[in-house]
């Protein structure tokens, strides 16, 4: 960013004049946009932080209804965790393909990432339906309100990420790898890794600590 200009001043500036807009000294807008997205992720940390705090405080308030140990299927959560971890990895490989300029491979790895994410969401919806059928609705107890808010917000983020990824794949196949689409792939990979991290904590706090 700006600091680079100060660090390697004269030689770079001369070079930039020869190649205007080559992005060599890059205080470039795409990089600033990526940083802006990073700031958004930091605010997302705070949203999830408050939901985690709420869940931890309320998780024993089951009002005589079903508790974590009665409701959660740890095996399903473990499968979900490995799905999301793997999708985080495939998303990383997509970024590698991006850096090598391989458009077809990039779209393929993004598609695989989105498919894994879709299976994850499918499992989550299935779990929620199952719980609601057993009478564990959001309004049953404070514990369940906090649970659906926390896990549902994460699921909503993943769903938004899926829609976004599909739109980006369409844009990539239409426009190819440009500085703008490149930034978008980098940003969505940050988003995806972030959601993976959040899920790790959901898995730990809600599922692993819930099932005694």
Residues that bind other proteins (CB under 8 A): 1, 3-4, 7, 22-24, 35, 38-39, 41-43, 45-46, 49-50, 52-54, 56-57, 74, 78, 81-82, 85-86, 88-89, 91-93, 95-96, 99-101, 103, 175-179, 189-190, 193-194, 196-197, 200-201, 203-205, 208-209, 211
Cβ nearer to other proteins, comparing 54 with 153: 54
Q: Shortest distance, CB of residue 171 to other proteins, whole angstroms?
A: 12
**Distance, CA of 143 to CA of 63 (rounded, Å):** 8
Cβ nearer to other proteins, comparing 126 with 178: 178
103-to-8, 95, 172 alpha-carbon distances in Å? 33, 10, 8
Smallest Cα–Cα separation from 24: which of 33, 32, 35, 15?
A: 15
Q: Shortest distance, CB of residue 139 to other proteins, whole angstroms?
A: 21
Q: Shortest distance, CB of residue 117 to other proteins, whole angstroms?
A: 15
Helices (H), the chain: 2-7, 9-18, 29-58, 68-71, 74-99, 103-133, 142-175, 179-202
């Amino acid at each position: 960013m700006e600091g680079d200009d100060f660090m390697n001043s004269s030689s770079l500036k001369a070079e930039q004049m020869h190649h205007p807009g080559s992005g060599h000294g890059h205080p470039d807008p795409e990089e600033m946009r990526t940083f802006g997205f990073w700031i958004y992720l930091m605010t997302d940390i705070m949203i999830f932080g408050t939901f985690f705090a709420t869940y931890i405080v309320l998780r024993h308030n089951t009002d005589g209804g079903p508790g974590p140990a009665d409701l959660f299927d740890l095996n399903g959560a473990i499968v979900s965790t490995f799905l999301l971890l793997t999708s985080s990895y495939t998303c990383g490989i997509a970024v590698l393909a991006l850096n090598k300029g391989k458009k077809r491979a990039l779209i393929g790895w993004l598609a695989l990432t989105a498919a894994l994410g879709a299976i994850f969401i499918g499992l989550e919806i299935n779990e929620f339906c199952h719980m609601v059928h057993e009478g564990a609705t959001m309004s049953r107890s404070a514990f369940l309100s906090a649970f659906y808010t926390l896990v549902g917000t994460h699921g909503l983020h993943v769903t938004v990420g899926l829609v976004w990824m599909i739109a980006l794949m369409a844009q990539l196949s239409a426009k190819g790898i440009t500085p703008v689409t490149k930034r978008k792939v980098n940003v969505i990979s940050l988003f995806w890794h972030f959601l993976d991290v959040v899920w790790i904590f959901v898995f730990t706090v809600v599922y692993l600590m819930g099932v005694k």
